[in-house]
Amino acid sequence: MERQIVCPQCRQGGALRVQVRSPREFVASLLWMAPFQCQRCDCRFLARRMSSASFPRLAERREHMRIPVRLCLSFSGGRVRGEGIVLDLSLGGCIIQSEAHVRVDDIFYLEISLAKDEPPIEAAAIVRSVSARGIAFKFLRRAQEDKRLMAFIQTHAGSNPSVSIEVAQSSLSN
């Protein structure tokens, strides 16, 4: 298994490779460096790419690690109310399955139930896409500000070995 990229600010592993945004990052990419973003503290930094096989590939647009889940959710916005199942969750948003009819750029108030005996996590989100896979929401407020959501994602990322391996491989192979 390949090593995880460690954030220079918080010293935690699991940073993901992200797209080049600046001229500095572009020049660094020519020198076998790549931009990464920490999933915990959101620090953006450059680190050495690990292999030449990753050179022609573009970094994925996703900036947050997805955690596969099956959680109940309810949402409302305007005249639309609905319920659904959260299929995957990240600090940046989620994908749900629902019978509700929504449109891209609609804004909703989400309530995601993490456990039966706990109050749901509340978040404002905008619809980014609607497809056969489901409705993709992007959280409007930074999810890192929600301690319960961040703890849930970190716990499930650490307890699911396939997710940890996927994080390490996607960080280093993009």
> Within a domain: residue 22?
no
pLDDT tens-digit readout, 144-171: 567 888 888 878 775 544 333 333 333 3
> Within a domain: residue 35?
no
Mean pLDDT along residues 132-154:
81
Whether the CB-CB separation of 75 and 97 falls below 8 Å is answered with no
Residue 106's closest CA among 75, 66, 70?
A: 75
> Within a domain: residue 27?
no
pLDDT tens-digit readout, 65-79: 788 999 999 999 988
> Within a domain: residue 91?
yes
> Within a domain: residue 40?
no
Check which CATH number belongs to the domain holding 104 and give it: 2.40.10.220
- Tally of structural domains, the chain: 1
> Within a domain: residue 59?
no
> Within a domain: residue 28?
no
The domain containing residue 117 runs over which residues?
Answer: 67-152
Output the pLDDT for position 63.
63
pTM of the model: 0.59
pLDDT tens-digit readout, 3-52: 577 888 888 777 778 888 888 888 887 888 888 888 778 788 888 876 54
> Within a domain: residue 38?
no
Residue type at 138? K
Q: Give the strand pairing for 121-130 and 33-37.
A: unpaired
